[in-house]
Structures are given as C-alpha cells and as structure tokens.
Amino acid sequence: MDYVKVVEHITKKLRWYVTDYAHKETGVLGLSGGIDSTVTTYLATMALGKDKVLVFLLPSRVTPKEDMEDAMDVIERLEIPATNWKIVSIDSIVEAFEKTLERVGNLERGNIMARVRMTILHHEAALHNGLVIGTGDRSELLMGYFTKYGDAGVDVLPIAGLYKTYVKKLAKHLKVPERIIQKPPSPRLWPGQTAEEELGIDYETLDAILYLKFDKGFDEEEITRHYAIPRELVKKVLSRVETTRHKRQFPEVL
C-alpha cells in the first residue's frame, strides 16, 4: 500500500467532511494511548491543524499508567496546545450508574464506560462547534468489536477503511512511537483485557480472512484451500461478521 497516498486521501477527505460538508470548526476525539486513537490523532492534526483538534484523555481506574504516558507523549510530539487537551476521569460517572443499576458485570460496565466517554466527547463537540472523530479500524468494524452507541457513536471514521495490520504499517510511516505500535490492542474496559484474546484470533490471521472475503471475494472453501487457514476459524470469523451486522447499520424502521 502506498501510505503517502493513504495519508493524502484520508486527510483531504477528513478536512472536507468537517469543514465543508458539516460546516464545523473543530475535530474532537478521545486519545487512549493505543495505536488506533494515536494514528487518528496524527491524521486529524494533519487534516485540520493542531489548533483545531481537541483531544480528551478519559481514563478510568483500570487505565494503565503507561497508556496515559503514551497519550501525553503523543500530545507533546504533535505540539497540541495546552488549551486543546484535557484529562477527564470517568470513574465517578460510571460509579453513579453502578449504584443505580443492578447486575453490572465486566461487559455491562465496559459498555457503560464506552458510552460515558462518547457522551463527554459529544458534549465537548457541541460546545466547540465540532464533530466527534472516531478511531475504529476496519477489522473491529467488521467483527462488531465495539460498543454500539459507545465508541461507534461518532460522526466520522477516518481509519475504518484500514485493517488493523494496515493501521500498524501506517503508524510506522507516520513515525508513531514504537512502544505504541507494539502494544497489544485492548479497549481497557477491565483489567487484563486484550482484543486478540477476546476475539479468539490474532489480527494477522483475522485480517487475512477478512481481506480475502471482502476485498478479493473468496468464499470459505477458497480461503481454506488456498491459504491453509483452518475451516473452523474462517467459519467462526465470518459467522461473527454476520451476527454483528446490526451494529453497523442505522436502527431498523419497522
């Protein structure tokens, strides 16, 4: 992939969408210190200018210290003005939900956390005449690996056309810190959570299956026969794509 052209295409489209199409002045995003949000922040500052990007660090009690350090490193490298970034802990808001609701386990709490973060970002976008810029990639989008109306509840998705393995290569092209590039992807919604463990597959194999199916048009049998990927794994991935398709659509009007 020609990453010079990728950057040019995404930044040009993002600039057009925010300023010309939506007639907004700023882009608002959450920076976690992970690879997706970091790459998106790099692209947003290139598209809109560092003075027009508002960055929010939204930690919880399970956010590792190194994630906050990496997020601050990104802010410093991109020279985002002090008036354009802010740290807002979500713990007190999440705890208020937990006190009111019953049966809040890891998954339910994680969904609440994702939706609280998105509520904060939309609030800030409203205050600053902005759009909320999403950070999801194509791998997670196709697998439904996101919270509906949480991290998916955004206005524009700059890197959602790129599989995770492509995002990693784009990060290298953009000179994102190596520590962020090599960090195991995780939503950080509970201690020890990693994306690959939760999905049950590594991203390289996952992206190969998704690419062969949706970009090359191969069926299950062709993927298994030509690329030596176990049939059960291919079936599992494509089944999840099918069962999560409602998450990628507007609500059905009956």
Shared domain for 153 and 224, answered yes or no, is no
Can you point out the beta strands (E) in 33-95?
A: 53-57, 85-87
Instruction: Count how many domains the chain has.
Output: 2
Q: Are residues 111 and 134 in the same domain?
A: yes
Residue 74 has pLDDT above 90, yes or no: yes
In a domain, 101, yes or no: yes
> Are 224 and 142 part of one and the same domain?
no
In a domain, 44, yes or no: yes
| Predicted model pTM | 0.94
Residue 130 contacts residue 24 (beta carbons within 8 Å) = yes
Q: Are residues 93 and 178 in the same domain?
A: yes
Provide the CA 175 distance to its chain's centre, in angstroms: 19
**204 plus 125 within the same structural domain:** no
Query: 19-34: per-residue pLDDT in tens?
Result: 999 999 999 999 999 9
Instruction: Give the pairing type, strands 85-87 and 26-30.
Output: unpaired
Q: Same structural domain for residues 88 and 141? A: yes
Tell me if 55 sits within 8 A of 82, measured CB to CB: no
Are 161 and 104 within one domain? Answer: yes
118 shares its domain with 49: yes
Residue numbers of the domain that contains 236: 200-249
CATH code for position 190: 3.40.50.620
In this structure, the answer to whether residues 142 and 211 fall within a common structural domain is no
Statement to judge: residues 163 and 55 lie in one domain: yes
Encode pLDDT of 195-220 as tens digits. Answer: 999 899 999 999 999 999 999 999 99
The reported pLDDT for the residue numbered 160 is 97
Looking at the domain assignment, is residue 254 inside a domain?
Answer: no
114 and 227, same domain (yes or no): no
Residue 216 and residue 191 in one domain:
no
Which residues share a beta bridge with 130? Answer: 26
